[in-house]
Amino acid sequence: MSLLPQRQAPATRRLLRAEVVRNERTSEHFVTITLGEPELAGFPPPGRDQSGARQLIAADESGVPAALAVLESAPADLVVTVFLEVPAKSDVREVGAPSGVDVQWLVRENGARPGQPALAELTHAALPAPDYAWIAGESGLVTGARRFLNRERGVPKSAIAFVGYWRRGWSAPG
């Protein structure tokens, strides 16, 4: 017996939405679509010794609020490389994060599909394989990054947390 819900046809599939407030003063938030109990993925993951671990965060604009919330509440000794893709230079902002956090803002050029710049930067960066990765955004970015990290860099799937917030060309009913 499976505890997971059986796959339903797209026209009848139930979508559950959970809204997580990132900053109460500015009402900044992000929306995640999930089945089951909503929760914000922890970073670093609970229960893992992260001292000296190489970590990675990658997100497009739909994952930026979650990534910023993670960084702003990160432990002081966190060391992580962060790729944040946004559609315009005006979306780039200061990040309150520990000194070991390397944030690289990627502004999407005209004609680039959402997620392409972040995925390209991730796959071409001269970074060692991370011990843990958190990826959020458009489905192509998330699945492409997960496949690259697993197949090309040898990162175990269990060490890659990923959230596909949306898929280009698809809309949710309702």
pLDDT tens digits, residue range 85-131?
Answer: 999 999 998 888 888 899 999 999 888 898 999 999 999 999 989 99
CA atoms within 13 A on the CB side of 51: 1
Q: Is pLDDT of 151 > 90?
A: yes
Domain spans of the chain, in order of start: 50-166
Assigned CATH for 50-166: 3.40.50.80
Residue 14 binned pLDDT confidence (cut-offs 50, 70, 90) = very low
Contact 138, 164 (CB under 8 A): yes
CB-based burial, 149-164: b 16+ in 10 Å, e otherwise: bbeeeebeeebbbbbb
Half-sphere exposure (Cβ direction) of 163: Cα atoms closer than 13 Å = 26
**pLDDT per position as a tens digit, 20-49:** 455 555 555 444 444 433 344 445 555 556
What pLDDT was estimated at residue 119? Answer: 95
Q: Where are the alpha helices (DSSP H) in 2-159?
A: 64-72, 116-124, 139-147
Q: Which pLDDT does position 34 carry in this prediction? A: 42
What is the token pair recorded at 108?
């999407």
